[in-house]
Structure 1
Amino acid sequence: MPAEGTRMARLWEREVGRLPPKRFADAFMASEDFVHSLGIQKRLRNHKGAVNSICFNTSGSLLLSSSDDETAVLWNLEEPASALKFHTGHGNDVLDARFMPLSDDQSIITCGADAEVRRSRIQEGGCVSTDKLADLRYMVTQLAVQPGSHTFFSCVEDGSVWHFDMREKRPRKLFKCGAVRSFDYLSGDTMQLYAIALDPRYPSCFAVSGDDEYVRLYDARKIDLERSKFGIPFEQFCPPDLICNKRDGIAGLAFSQTGELLASYRHDNIYLFSREHGLHFNDFGGIAVEKLPVPRTFKGHENKHAIKGVSFLGPNCDYVTSGSDCGNIFIWRKKDGELIRVMKGDKRIVNCVKQHPTEIVVASCGIDADVKIWAPGDNENPSTARFDEVDSNPSLVRSTGSDSDCSAYVLSARFDSSSSSSDDDDDDDDYDDDDDEEEEEEEEYDDYFDDDDETDGDEDQKDDEWRYMTASQQNMYGQFTSPADRTVQ
């Protein structure tokens, strides 16, 4: 029998029936062996544009993806060839798609850059009917579904938050998110919203974030619009050094099972907030900024060019993961913020990383028109850069550009310097599969990464950032002026 507590011992216990499969999976996913053993198991190809969101159903038997091509795809992970692809009815990029509870996974809601929220219903025989639930006039950036209910929330580019009940004819606008001018007063200005997330312990409580540095928490049962047309948050979070700097935004949010809250800043790092970091909890108006507790920080990714999610991994939210502008997936240990794995997940940008609800599987998506399934065991060359000690690794460099006062780690090379040349060749061969399809995708990417502009300095940098964005992302950031006048937030 292998030594107690080792991976081989757990495998032996599982094989002889001493360790139930679920307990084995949980124990393995909580270990760093899980993180270091992930590799690409399969690629799901059916979209013709960037994939903006992915979502597992409750059992994990199905995966739902949405894309710039205005479609959604329902994947059976055991039989990917039997995927159901359907047009959502949107007239622009589909930014988010979710399963509705209590529908046997036959009802799917979507939102998009065309300002619509829509429902698609899968009929017998695979036919899909769609209907418009609302036209909210501005881009609808994300959805959040209340588990075990007929209801969900949406956040909108104009700063509004809406509540939908599928048993009612019309949605209800809860409030508009006001810009912070002081901590006891919200001005008449609104802010763009990028993300919304529900607290799994209290489904009526949710967090929103957008184009400033604050995460706001609300309780849908206690929103008082009699005092103001703006919703008053019951708590706010912000790292002490970013308070009132008015130069950043938050693109992704995620709650842990215990109510910890991840926030991914667009020009800074990812931060982990808990109750003791709250500005109201600390009576911020009465104390100095330097006395506020500092949240745990996760450094390494870049989040300037596209709206990216952030997620937990592991049965007890043991790890933190995010995509990056460099095309990699970053995984940090939650308890100390140490970066322990970087995996090549996309040619250019990874938008979203999600964990399977029950199995040792992770899915990712990005600018590439596919969804990648990661798992331990026999799989494709994982094509990863693995960093045991970030500061000493030559493939990571410090960046201290004008976008952020805080240093960030950025990749200066695609692969770890320890990767063998044969590994690189294998990965290149893998990406050269289906040459015609890849050439078609490259033509689409030329619009994002064309470097013909001969301008210099900041103007050139701003124009490069502009090219990374899709039309809907350009609209989200309000960039309608000439390249010389653009200021990417």
Structure 2
Amino acid sequence: MSTDIHDQIPRLLPSLTNLSQKASTTSDVERLRRWNLFRALNCTLDRVNVLEGHSGCVNALSWAEDGNLLISGGDDTTVRLWSIDPSQTIQEYPFTCTAVVNTGHRANIFNAKMLPHSSRVATAAGDAQIRVFDVKTALASANLGKEEISHSFAQTQVAIIRCHRDSIKRIVTEDSPDIFLSVSEDGTVRQHDLRTPHDCHSGSCTAPLIDIGHELSTLSLSPLSPHELVVAGEAPYGYLFDRRHLRRTIESNWGAIPNAGQGATTCVRRFGRQSRSNNSRYIARDHITGARISDANGHEVILSYSGDAVYLYSTKDDPEGKDDMSIMQSSLLASEGVGNSSTSEPAQERDMPSPNLRGVSISRLDESLTRPRQENHSNVPIVLPRHRYIGLRNIATVKDVNFFGPDDEWVVSGSDDGNFFIWNKSDGNLHGIYEGDGSVVNVVEGHPHFPLAAVSGIDNTVKLFSPTSTFSSFSRMDNAEQIIETNRRAGSAGIVRADLAALQVLADLRNAMDNEGLRPTLECTHQ
């Protein structure tokens, strides 16, 4: 016998009220937690722990199991699992290594991520392989409180993926234990599904999600906008792709895009900035080493340019014309004195001997150094940066870049001087400089819930930093001006030396071709 819904409302109202109050309480607790985390991270940081065990550079750091587990990997081709040892009461964050997996990679591990809703870890390395292993046994041992246990890859193997043709730099997980993305220096982004195994040697690999035409080194997507992803590498631009298939959806959101809807992804925006200097002798190839889309809002993007600075963009910003871009970027450069006749030429460069460029066109060599191998998206609109974050030196290695804080209030990056830098995202002002490595800091990963950051680089250790109410032994803010100026000068000189050396190599090659009578047959005579 059916009952009129109106008769049910008085009985349901108390339950609905309780649910509403519970939801409100939960929301208030979460807001309070985030506010307290922000307040803590707004204080000065200090080093609270050093995690030892790796025998080479630590290139990969990621938090897993909601922050209960720290995963690290590096040049020694091992992955280490770190968890808090409750028996230790001396340290504030007593993370200890409870398991080691010998992955079997034949080159440096660049990235290691645990796949969501699973105990699987995927690693990316310089041997062009992705290796996926299950760490249930290792985690079970850790839960039993046993000492560090070493496992071979064969004991935990799930899959070995060889779809890429060159070094794999980053893995990005999705909300799935089976599906994830990878980016490689072969210029492609691939999507992998562990539920559909295949034989890479037989040529049965699925087509890349993206094939951009030049080397790629970084990839990011946000859980708030998983259909959008940013890739970057050997080019002056970061590329925003929309992997939704419906052309009308893409055109409705982004406007008419050339070739929209063709293939699995569509490039809808480029993020760019003008060259760092108008000085013709200051020659450097644009290269982006790190990219992140904000997890907190899904539209802010940060890019770290080698030899330059970190830039903040937004997918919500309208693209600008070339004239607007020149005006804005000139203003950004002027803020650091670049382009001024008294400062545009680094002092170290003036005394450097010129290479023996006999019979070589400098403009042609300059073009070969600064131009990407291929620009497949030259008609895609360009978005300009909102802010520029300066002070770091990013020349020697591939630096990652990251947001920091419960709502991504800060931007953080490592530096060649062994420090890591934290800037206020909203205004670009420097929030902190901390010594994080004996040589170079490459990775900084903030904990998802605690006021804690894991830092690694050239050293074979991982450092943990947390707020302190007393003196910080590792803060370098008292020497900030000198550090920034030293980085500016050293970075400029380093770029110039590297590029002059590259020019000399090309010059020697062309001179050798002249001597052998090969040059006429190799040069294009049709243009």
Q: Quick one: distance in 2 between partners of 1:333 and 1:320?
A: 7
Q: 2:127 aligns with which of 104, 114, 118?
A: 114
In structure 2, the partner of 1:96 is 111
| CA shift for structure 1 position 283 | 6.0
After superposition, where does 1:287-366 map in structure 2 within 5 Å? 289-290=326-327, 293-366=384-457
How far 1:240 sits from its partner (Å)? 4.3
Instruction: Indicate how the Cα distance of structure 1 residues 373 and 319 shifts in structure 2: closer, same or farther if over 3 A, else same.
Output: same
Matched, 1:144 2:187: no
CA RMSD of aligned residues (A): 3.7
Q: What corresponds to 1:165 in structure 2?
A: 193
Q: Deviations over 1:77-100 (max 9, x none)?
A: 336445211111211101100000
The equivalent of 1:205 in structure 2 is 228
Whether 1:255 and 2:282 are equivalent positions in the alignment is: no
Q: Which runs of 5+ in 1 are unaligned?
A: 1-18, 179-189, 405-456, 467-477
Find the counterpart in structure 2 of residue 462 from structure 1.
498
Letter in 2 for 1:115: A
Are positions 1:397 and 2:397 aligned together? Answer: no
- Cα deviation for residue 320 of structure 1 reads 0.7
Aligned to 2:217, the other structure's residue is in SS state strand
| Match in the other structure for 2:353 | none
1:48, 1:339 → 2: CA distance? Answer: 33
Letter in 2 for 1:191: H
More divergent stretch after superposition (316-325 vs 213-222): 213-222
8 A contact 2:117–2:177 mirrored in 1: yes
Q: Hey, what does 2:474 align to over in structure 1? A: 383
Q: Give the C-alpha shift of residue 35 in structure 1.
A: 4.0
* Alignment check: 8 A CA contact 2:325 2:384 kept: no
Q: CA deviation at 1:137?
A: 2.2
Structure 2 counterpart of 1:120, one-letter code? F
Taking a change above 3 Å as real, the CA distance of residues 25 and 326 of structure 1, as seen in their structure-2 partners, is farther
AA aligned to 1:67 is: G
Counterpart for residue 239 of structure 1: 273
Q: Is the 8 A contact 2:218 2:291 kept in 1?
A: yes
Distance 1:284 1:303 in 2: 29
- Quick one: distance in 1 between partners of 2:507 and 2:455? 32
Equivalent pairs, count: 382
Q: TM-score, normalised by structure 2?
A: 0.64
The alpha carbon displacement at 1:27 in A equals 1.9
For residues 166-187 of structure 1, what are the alpha-carbon distances to aligned partners after superposition, in whole Å with 9 as ceiling and x for unaligned?
2111463334543xxxxxxxxx
For 2:121 and 2:264, the matched residues in 1 are separated by 30
- In structure 2, relative to structure 1, the CA distance for the partners of 1:394 and 1:110 (3 Å cut) is closer
* 1:197 Cα deviation after fit: 0.3
Q: Residue 186 of structure 1 aligns with which residue?
A: none
Name the residue aligned to 1:155.
Answer: 183
Q: Which runs of 5+ in 2 are unaligned?
A: 1-26, 86-93, 142-150, 199-204, 248-258, 329-382, 510-527
Counterparts in 2 of 1:179-218, with a 5 A limit?
Answer: 190-218=213-241
**Alignment partner of 2:327: what SS?**
helix
Once residues 153 and 458 of structure 1 are traced to their aligned partners in structure 2, the CA distance between those partners, rounded to angstroms, is 34
Partner of 2:351 in structure 1?
none
> What's the CA shift string for 1:232-268, capped at 9, x where partnerless?
4111111245699982111011111212001011111
Larger-Rg structure: 2
Name the CA distance, whole Å, in 2 between partners of 1:294 and 1:315: 23
Tell me which residue corresponds to 1:52: 59
**TM-aligned CA deviation for residue 158 of structure 1:** 1.2
- 1:125-171 C-alpha deviation (Å, 9 max, x unpaired): 55542231224221111111113452111111110111011211146
Residue type at the aligned position of 1:45 = E
Distance 1:240 1:172, change over 3 A: same
Distance in 2 (CA, whole Å) between partners of 1:289 and 1:307 is 28
Q: What is the aligned-residue identity percentage?
A: 25
Letter of the structure 2 residue corresponding to residue 263 of structure 1: L
Residues 382-407 of structure 1 show CA distances to partners (whole Å, capped at 9, x for unaligned) of: 3221259x5xx445426665966xxx
Change over 3 Å in CA distance of 1:89–1:345 after alignment to 2: same
Write 1 or 2 for the structure with the bigger share of helix.
2
SS of equivalent to 1:30: helix
Q: How far apart are the structure 2 equivalents of 1:336 and 1:226? A: 35
**How far off its partner does 1:72 sit?**
0.5
Residue 70 of structure 2 corresponds to 63
The separation in 2 between residues aligned to 1:223 and 1:260, in whole angstroms, is: 24
Write the distance in 1 (CA, Å) between the matches of 2:238 and 2:266.
12
Q: How far did 1:227 drift?
A: 8.8
* Cα 1:27–1:117 shift into 2, 3 Å: same
Which secondary structure state, in structure 2, belongs to the residue aligned with residue 397 of structure 1? helix
Paired residue for 1:431? none
Q: 1:293, CA displacement in angstroms?
A: 5.0
Asked whether the 8 Å contact 1:100–1:107 carries over to 2, the reply is yes
